[in-house]
Structure 1
Amino acid sequence: MYLENTPKLGITVSLVNTSLIGQRSESAGYTYSLFDELKRAFSIWINLLKILIQWKKTNIVHFNSNCSPKGLVRDYLSVLLIKLFSIPIVFHCHCNVPDQLSESRVGFYFLKNIIKLVDRVIVLNSRSRNFISANFQVAPDIVPNFINLDLVDLKRKRVVRKLKKLTFTGHIRRSKGILEILKVAKDFPELTFYLIGPMTENLEAEEPIGSNVKLLGSMDHEQVLDFLRKSDLFVFPSHTEGFSVSMLEAMASGLPVVATDVGANADMIESKGGIIIPTNDVFALKKAIERMKDVNLRKKMSIFNITKVKNNYTSEIVLNKYLNIYKLLV
């Protein structure tokens, strides 16, 4: 979406690499070998070098990283290469930084040295900003993910009195809190839990799937958005996130949210657009769903979420944040 929208700002972008790498690709069900990773690294460096030599009008390098420990080694070498050309570097951490680095000395070391070299650091959420500020004495800019304004349901249908349809979108796996959903669904036979997304782990051996849980598999984007608009509540008990676009789309659809206290979740709904619960806590999830049976509460949350997305997370607003950062460096 960044590439699709940058022409509106009068910016020309050259893309160096789009590969899924490191821990993020593993969590999405992909695997990679050391040989594959080295091939990707050399491909990145060669393409980057070609662009820096041939395209002499490069003003800024915007460097996206998932901050996996292995990936940060490659990122550090890439940043050193860019520095040879004296071009300002914006280093963008597309993850929840504490989750990636809290137990990795290697990752911590290389991110520390990357931050010393770059001109600006961007993160997705306040947790990442606080972690970097405390450990590296740098104040990063928070720039969230975004969606286009036409996806925001400004005319949200009337919130129905009776809670019926609860929806989750994302990978069907443990790290997304699916086991917690399967367990809590047993306590609400009157509700239907719709899980949209590819199943990348077999969870049925650990927790039987009840008759009120519907595994819908992958859908195209328009189908997902249409389903969200017809739902009553978005349930998102993920164990780790950076800034969830799935949750953002649910908010844009006017859905109240029950989400875990990870990544940007609390930044997004501020306790006014949903209920924040601890991770791996089936009782807290059950209690939150019970509270959401209050139609007046859901109405207030629905209005808040639509307004929050409209005023903070649309492409025009977020891309202008990027532009303001770029202007400081050129």
Structure 2
Amino acid sequence: MKQRLSDILVIAPNFKRRLSGVTATIVRLVPVQSKSIPIVATGAGLPAHVPYIPVWRLPFLKRKRRVWHARRNTEMLVGLVLKHIFRQPLKLLFTSASQRKHSGYTKWLIGQMDGIVATSAKTATYLERPCDVILHGIDLTDFTPIDTESRSALRHKLNLPDAKIIGCFGRIRAQKGTDLFIDAFIQMAKTDADLVAVVLGRALPKDQEFLAGLKTKIAQNNLSDRVVFPDEVPVDQIADWYRVLDLYVAPQRWEGFGLTPLEAMACGVPVVATDVGAFSEIISTKAGEIVPIGEVAPMVRAAQRLLSADQSGLSEAARAHVEAQFSLEREANALIDIYHRLLA
């Protein structure tokens, strides 16, 4: 989808080919924002429905004030090149999701920006300058709950038992805490014969040994028939895998923001999550629990409490919480307010 070049006021670069959380954010936000402000994305790996201009056109745009909304170091650097070498009168905005100490190079880049957005209050503490805090939102029409009868039918369609199902989604690797989830499930399965686990995600080649170790541990505990590792699922089918769950677990050891708990809660699924990323800022105590990082026992206790609680009440509370505070439109509009401020 193309915008008339002379109308463009905001450019959102995506300079990474492999799918990532940043790319997913751009793909979600730009089409929504384009309804209210002339915005385009540029770079690689973007689907056809996202308003777009090719990178090669950037230096040759008619000179007028625009916002360059970077989310990575390379994108901040290119914004500076366009501004100072190609003399494009850009206002440079950077969104940071990282919760770690920045290198000297990154600090220098951030120092050149005209505006900074942090995706959580925790992230803001790592930035050594004032910033706006805007939490991510999700599309509430894509992620919706279903009733009990429909859930049973969906489980059958996905070749899952109509049992008590807990899930953990995302890259299969130590940073994501997949091993902690498996350890917690093994403990819970010893006393709950109706419990099934779904581990949905991909292990990169470097993490295949890690995945093999998980499967070996599961087999040693005679639970191979109760842990499901589905093939990689297309993005537009992810919501169905949340809908079949009784509980979602986010066991990460580190996370920048972490959208999966929001996606689960939007589907009416309660959440247990470690205290990383923005989890403590996005999970309601009425719909989930936060547990310490890297500890299996508190994860088990929290999961057991939520599984034994009133499921319909938890589901309603989870959905209501996300509807009230975490719509994609809220995030899009908050960013548009900053664009207008920079363009004024």
TM-score (norm 1): 0.76
Which amino acid in the other structure matches residue 38 of structure 2?
I
Secondary structure of the residue aligned to 1:224 is helix
- The reply to whether residue 322 of structure 1 matches residue 330 of structure 2 is no
Unpaired runs of 5+ residues, structure 2, are 1-27, 47-53, 153-161
Report what 1:205 is aligned to: 213
Distance change (3 Å), C-alpha of 1:324 and 1:110: same
Asked whether the 8 Å contact 2:30–2:41 carries over to 1, the reply is no
Counterpart in the other structure of 1:143 = 134
Asked if the contact 1:172–1:199 (Cα under 8 Å) also holds between the matched residues in 2, the reply is: yes
Q: Which runs of 5+ in 1 are unaligned?
A: 20-45, 66-71, 102-106
- Report matched runs for 1:81-100 at 5 Å: 81-84=81-84, 85-93=88-96, 95-98=97-100
Residue 234 (structure 2) aligned to one of 214, 220, 242: 220
The one of 51, 56, 66 aligned to 1:59: 66
Aligned match of 2:109: 114
Please tell me whether the aligned partners of residues 180 and 280 of structure 1 are also in contact (alpha carbons under 8 angstroms): yes
Matched ranges for 1:259-278 at <5 A:
259-278=273-292
Conservation of the 8 A alpha-carbon contact between 1:76 and 1:110:
no
Secondary structure at 2:95's aligned position in 1? strand
> Structure 1 stretch 150-159 or stretch 55-64: which is displaced more?
150-159
Cα separation, 2, equivalents of 1:241 and 1:277: 14
User: What SS does structure 1 have at the residue aligned with 2:188?
Assistant: coil
**Secondary structure in structure 1 of the residue aligned to 2:39:** coil
Matching of residues 153-232 of structure 1 within 5 Å: 153=144, 157=148, 164-189=164-189, 190=193, 191-200=195-204, 201=207, 202-203=209-210, 204-205=212-213, 208-209=217-218, 210-211=223-224, 212-232=226-246
Q: Distance in 2 between matches of 1:293 and 1:221?
A: 27
RMSD: 2.7
Give how far 1:16 is off.
Answer: 3.7
Q: Residue 10 of structure 1: CA displacement?
A: 3.0
Are the aligned partners of 2:117 and 2:134 in contact in 1 as well (CA < 8 Å)? yes
Corresponding residue SS for 1:283: helix
Q: Is the 8 A contact 2:287 2:314 kept in 1?
A: yes
State how 1:237-276 maps to structure 2 within 5 Å: 237-276=251-290
SS of match in other structure, 1:280: coil
The percentage of aligned residue pairs carrying the same residue is: 23
> So what's the TM-score if we normalise by structure 2?
0.73
Contact 1:151 1:252 in 2 (8 A): no
Letter aligned with residue 56 of structure 1? R
How many matched pairs? 282
